[in-house]
Structure 1
Amino acid sequence: MPEMPNPKVPPSCWTILFQDRITLILLAIGNDLYLLDNTACSVVTLPGMSPMCGAYLHFSVSFHHKYLAVFTDSGYIWMGMSSLKVSKVFGKNL
């Protein structure tokens, strides 16, 4: 796996995702979200999620790795496909 961005700051949360026989790491450092594969680290944004939703605190992946839930420090919950393409956002006024 490539090096984590800003290695002096510990991640607030991380999880493993599997997509098409590829292992990915979804990593959060505060308000920033990164997707690491075996060759690169890229910045990602969750569809429908406002930048004002706060820092990422917890990820939860479904048993079959098809769905992902993300919880932020301001009370927002993002739920969608682990491919990060389809989603629903629950929380305060967006």
Structure 2
Amino acid sequence: MRKVADNRFAIGLASAITMFGHTVRVYDLERTICDLFRSRSTVDPQDLQSAFQNYMRSAHTDLVKLMNYAHEFRLVNVMRPYLEAVMPA
């Protein structure tokens, strides 16, 4: 479990409807990727890389939002090698 400062709690917060029709609060894809990078010491590196590659292949990729979140959580330098690996030159 990770603690989050109150001013960062709402970053990426969205809502989704479950298959039973209930509305639940969730984080968007970009926030989830940032949370994986924040927990990289406890996440298998192969899982982190796979999640990032799947995100980049997704039709819902929003790199501007991802980099804004990365800046907010101070992850830009950590994410940069992953971005350089998957982005065409």
TM-score using structure 1 length: 0.30
Is the helix fraction higher in 1 or 2? 2
Is the strand fraction higher in 1 or 2? 1
Q: Which has the larger radius of gyration?
A: 2
Of the two structures, which has the highest relative contact order with CA contacts closer than 8 Å and spacing of 6 or more? 2
